[in-house]
Structure 1
Amino acid sequence: MRQSQRERFFAQLLVYSLFLCLYVYIVTDIRPVHQTFGVHSTIFDQTSAEEFPDANFDKRFSDVATIGEFWEYSEQVLFPALYSSEYFNGDPKAFDGRFSNTIAGYNTLIMPLRLRSVRVQNSSCDNVRAFTKTCWGRYSADTALREPFGAEYGNSYKTDLVQWSGYEGFGEDYGTEGYVVDIPLQEAGQPTGWAAQLKALKGAKWIDESTRAVSIHAGFYNANLDIHTYVRWSVDISPSGRFQPWTTMWSLRLNPYSRQSDTIRLVAEGVFVVLLLGYLVVELSEMRKLRWGYFLEIPNWIDMINYGLYIAVIVVWVDFVLAYVVEDKGYAAKFSSRLTEYDEEFAQIAGIFRASTQLAAFNIVWAVVKVFKYLQLFPSVMLLWEALANSMVEIVPFFMVIVMSIVAFTFAAHWTFGHYVLEFHSFTRSFFMLVRTVVAQNSLPYDLMRESSPTMAVIFVLLWTVVMLLIIVNMFVGIITDSHDFVMSQHHLEQSRMLHRIGNSANVDFFRATLNRGIGALSRNLEKAGQSVSSTPTVIFKDNPKRKANKEDPTIFDPENRAQLKKIHNVIRGVDTKDAEAVRQMMVHEEVDKLTAADLANTVFAKDPTKAHDFLDSIIGIQIVQESIRSIEARELQEQQRVSELTSTVDRLVRETQAVTEALSTAPQLDTEAGVEKFLELQGVKTLQHTTSKS
């Protein structure tokens, strides 16, 4: 049964490898990561990472900490880079050419820049005191300021914007509303029109104390790579006055079926969907067969999550294609040329494409985990899989202990050091900071912790090190080790008992068995063609020393036993060998003699007593052959022992006879038999008569 299971794993591994390769090819071709990285790094280096020209230290966008510094960055770094009007040698750029409104030569702005901000109402906090006339709290839909202002410099309040959320731990969910100001692309004769508009915004205090976030949105197109990129430079402003600058970039191909290689990918997508449907049918049939028992097996949960993610990726991608590619809306052409107005739909499209990318990236992890299921055809991998499965009984509750312990330390670190140390300023960052110290051996920010609370830093680090790194982690390793030792002992016990019952067939692995079957098939074909081929086991395994030593011990997988092997294969064809665990346990505990056809029919052969009887008859036949082989070997061993004893006796008689002859030839003439015996005793030799009679 195990051999049959490994054969199925091998066939399933081949199909799943094709399925997985198609998935990797499709995702990689749609999302050219290397090219996207080149676009992102270029834009980032020349905008977010560019130094302030008038600063007396290395100051960049990430160092913005005040409203004045935000305007300084916009006027001296960002807008000059995006709206540059001259080449490196001072020649003016042609505004009707490709290089106008372009950064790094190839990434061209396709629409005006959009400045967006959100504000809160005066007295939006709950702790107003007599000496404080106004205060500004956290942003929410209830505290948002929506009153119009600044129409003279293009400011307006819109409610149909793209979803915008702040940086984790610092910002809020700003929703789809806010104040916006669009700054047009450069036109001929007005190369610095943006400067006057920024000056007006700055002078009118478009950003003030009530502002909770401000961002600049841009859309680029790289014609060389056919890649569109959405970029957002954001600054979250907390009620404490802290500024958190950060940059977001999303890239995509708006016309993913325009190249010749895209046609090949389209065919691959079709094959992939067909294979996925096949897997879903198999999974649903198994779910229908096992009913609620299906959900009690961990591998089934892995399959469900894996297939669910595949379906989610396909749904998101189909929605993207139907909405922006198939329908005749001309998005690819629209966003590949310069627009006079900012279009929020560009960011929405990029967001959908990014969501599908994240789902695809997360799913590949589950997809590779499933490969280990099929790699069980290798005994070493099978043992590792069984060790992990066996350890889950203890790992699941122990994992809960680990999580609760980390949560407890998370609260302690957040409450004690969060007011001073960035890594502990929020619960989420505190939790993942501690997790990294466990799984990646990252060190805690001990120096900053000491500055925040010297005594508590020492106590916390000692407790964390002793409890988590010395006790809990080692207990986890111990659970895995004990499970592996138990599985190995069970395997050795099973193997020894299988060897006793079916002989050398138990030692034949999947590849040797497959090789034997292949050679058997080749032999039959050659015999049909009129050629003779030796089918003895010594020819098949002539290079195997172990096989030479046991060359008289045949196996069920040898070519001469192909009829019996074929009979067994016909019996167990279509049987779900996952249900054979009960039979294996009976083998390990020496209860297999109690196994009946009814037991096999109920556990393995889907209540088919005929197949169960045929399988038992085949196995009993193998055992009878093996017992006869062992009987013959035992008789041969006894005969060899008797021959060895007789040979040693004859050798001893020859040596004693030679000794007597030599003694007599050198002795003086003795007249009596008693004298002769006395002489022999003096020579240390027993009498011939005594020796002969004893023999």
Structure 2
Amino acid sequence: MIGGRIHSSIALHSCRLQPYRTGADFARLACEVFFFLCLCVYVLREMNELRVYKLEYFKSFWNLVELTNIAMYLTILVYWSRFLLEDRFQYLEFSPTEYRDPGKVIELFTFTSAVAAVNVIIGCFTIFKYLQVNPKLSLLWVALSNAAVDILPFIMVFFLVTIGFTFAGHWLFGTRVAGFHTWGESFSTLLRSLTGEYDYESLQLADSAAAPAYTVGWIFIVTLVLINMFIAILTDAFELTKDRIRRIADFQDQAGEGFMLRTALLDSVEGIARQFAEKENVDPDRKVHTKKLKRVRKEVFQNPQLLFVRTLPTQMRRTHVCL
């Protein structure tokens, strides 16, 4: 049929029906039990923070990341338990007269592996939270935070341009080039071209007149203009953040012993106030304290993308915070 196409696909999945059989497997089981105990402590700690801060807890980006991390851990635990409770040993026996479909067991194993793979990335991402204790180690995250104001509009422009070329590529080459058969495949092909995977010969065979103009337009606008602009945004943010951290380090060196300087990247001024109030046995919720906190919060967070030093109110005059 003219213009028609047939898509064929084969999916192969495998899983270990006996995940605990060798000595190494039992050593892994011991690590899994220890990890489960650590997970229980992790969940209890987050529940305690949620009980203390209530709705304020959800205003922190890192708290949302940790909630996602915990939710995926619990999902892995549930599905892995279901996998272990399934009757897996029946598939180890060969039967010439009966077909035993292991589809359910394989789906449980595959889904658990997929969730675990994503959760590993999220878990590594949370390391940035603890790197913020040291300004030099937090340089990358602070630079990305400062660049976010410029990166978000850039991402919108990038996707608008990519969507335009996606539709154009699908209409020009969709019936003759496999990589442009559908809009999704066209979009994927253009993104892969950023890594150097671009089949220009197929486009030229499909339409020798449109292929050169389409390729030159895509390479010039995206590769030469937008990608270099993205690198420039990150470079400027990195240099600006590095300069601010250097000035803060100089400020710490010049501070002497006249007062205590605490360098911390905390979620809110209220968190610092509560820490100091607990240390000084002061009620952190009294009105006079709250009024001063509101005034400080307004001053400190008036320009949140900047990195600077502010002195807290009288009750916390011995504590200085680097935000």
Q: Which residue pairs with 2:68 in the alignment?
A: 305
Q: Which residue pairs with 2:158 in the alignment?
A: 402
1:582, CA displacement in angstroms?
6.4
Counterpart check, 1:447 vs 2:210: no
Which of 223, 226, 245 does residue 469 from structure 1 map onto?
223
Contact 2:66 2:126 in 1 (8 A): yes
- AA aligned opposite 1:322: L
Q: Which residue pairs with 2:313 in the alignment?
A: 596
1:289, CA displacement in angstroms?
4.4
1:266, CA displacement in angstroms?
2.6
Change in CA separation of 1:443 and 1:262 when aligned onto 2, cut-off 3 Å: closer
- AA aligned opposite 1:435: L
Cα distance in 1 for partners of 2:149, 2:224 equals 22
1:487, CA displacement in angstroms?
1.6
Q: Which residue pairs with 1:480 in the alignment?
A: 234
Cα distance in 2 for partners of 1:430, 1:597 equals 61
Cα distance in 1 for partners of 2:7, 2:228 equals 42
Q: Which residue pairs with 2:41 in the alignment?
A: 278
Identity %: 25
Other structure's SS at 1:303 match: helix
TM-score by length of 1: 0.37
Cα distance in 2 for partners of 1:591, 1:380 equals 19
* 1:627-642 paired onto structure 2 within 5 Å: none
Q: Which 5+ residue runs of structure 1 have no aligned equivalent? A: 1-134, 136-238, 325-330, 510-567, 599-611, 620-695
Cα distance in 1 for partners of 2:112, 2:222 equals 37
Cα distance in 1 for partners of 2:96, 2:216 equals 62
Counterpart check, 1:269 vs 2:63: no
- AA aligned opposite 2:241: V
Which of 155, 175, 193 does residue 419 from structure 1 map onto?
175
Cα distance in 1 for partners of 2:26, 2:205 equals 61
Q: Which residue pairs with 1:549 in the alignment?
A: none
As a proportion of its length, which structure holds more helix? 2
Q: Which residue pairs with 1:668 in the alignment?
A: none
Contact 2:80 2:112 in 1 (8 A): yes
Q: Which residue pairs with 2:252 in the alignment?
A: 498
Contact 1:256 1:262 in 2 (8 A): yes
Contact 2:166 2:187 in 1 (8 A): yes
1:243, CA displacement in angstroms?
6.0
Change in CA separation of 1:456 and 1:241 when aligned onto 2, cut-off 3 Å: closer
Which of 202, 206, 214 does residue 460 from structure 1 map onto?
214
Counterpart check, 1:435 vs 2:152: no
Cα distance in 2 for partners of 1:390, 1:397 equals 14
Cα distance in 2 for partners of 1:362, 1:413 equals 32
Other structure's SS at 2:92 match: coil
1:318, CA displacement in angstroms?
1.0
Change in CA separation of 1:280 and 1:389 when aligned onto 2, cut-off 3 Å: farther
Q: Which 5+ residue runs of structure 2 have no aligned equivalent? A: 264-275, 285-292, 302-306
Cα distance in 1 for partners of 2:309, 2:144 equals 25
Cα distance in 2 for partners of 1:292, 1:394 equals 29
Counterpart check, 1:242 vs 2:6: yes
- AA aligned opposite 1:487: T
Cα distance in 1 for partners of 2:154, 2:231 equals 11
Other structure's SS at 1:340 match: coil
- AA aligned opposite 2:62: P
Cα distance in 2 for partners of 1:486, 1:428 equals 38
* 1:273-422 paired onto structure 2 within 5 Å: 273-324=36-87, 331-332=88-89, 334-422=90-178
1:386, CA displacement in angstroms?
0.9
Contact 1:409 1:464 in 2 (8 A): yes
Higher RCO (CA < 8 A, seq sep 6+): 2
- AA aligned opposite 1:280: V
1:291, CA displacement in angstroms?
4.4
Other structure's SS at 2:118 match: helix
Cα distance in 1 for partners of 2:16, 2:59 equals 42
Cα distance in 2 for partners of 1:426, 1:320 equals 37
Cα distance in 2 for partners of 1:338, 1:591 equals 73
- AA aligned opposite 1:361: A
Which digits, 9 at most, give the CA deviation of each residue in 1:346-366, with x for residues without a partner? 122122211211222222122
Aligned-CA RMSD value: 3.7
* 1:225-236 paired onto structure 2 within 5 Å: none
Between 1:256-265 and 1:460-469, the stretch displaced more is 256-265
Change in CA separation of 1:294 and 1:462 when aligned onto 2, cut-off 3 Å: farther
TM-score by length of 2: 0.75
1:323, CA displacement in angstroms?
2.6
Which digits, 9 at most, give the CA deviation of each residue in 1:172-196, with x for residues without a partner? xxxxxxxxxxxxxxxxxxxxxxxxx
Contact 1:498 1:506 in 2 (8 A): no
Change in CA separation of 1:427 and 1:487 when aligned onto 2, cut-off 3 Å: same
Contact 1:309 1:363 in 2 (8 A): yes
Contact 2:174 2:182 in 1 (8 A): yes
Other structure's SS at 2:19 match: coil
Cα distance in 1 for partners of 2:136, 2:91 equals 54
Contact 1:313 1:360 in 2 (8 A): yes
Other structure's SS at 2:102 match: helix
Cα distance in 2 for partners of 1:269, 1:590 equals 44
Cα distance in 2 for partners of 1:249, 1:382 equals 42
Which digits, 9 at most, give the CA deviation of each residue in 1:519-574, with x for residues without a partner? xxxxxxxxxxxxxxxxxxxxxxxxxxxxxxxxxxxxxxxxxxxxxxxxx9x949xx
1:477, CA displacement in angstroms?
1.6
Q: Which residue pairs with 2:287 in the alignment?
A: none
As a proportion of its length, which structure holds more strand? 1
Which digits, 9 at most, give the CA deviation of each residue in 1:240-290, with x for residues without a partner? 46363x443222222323444433333222211121122222233334444
Change in CA separation of 1:315 and 1:401 when aligned onto 2, cut-off 3 Å: farther
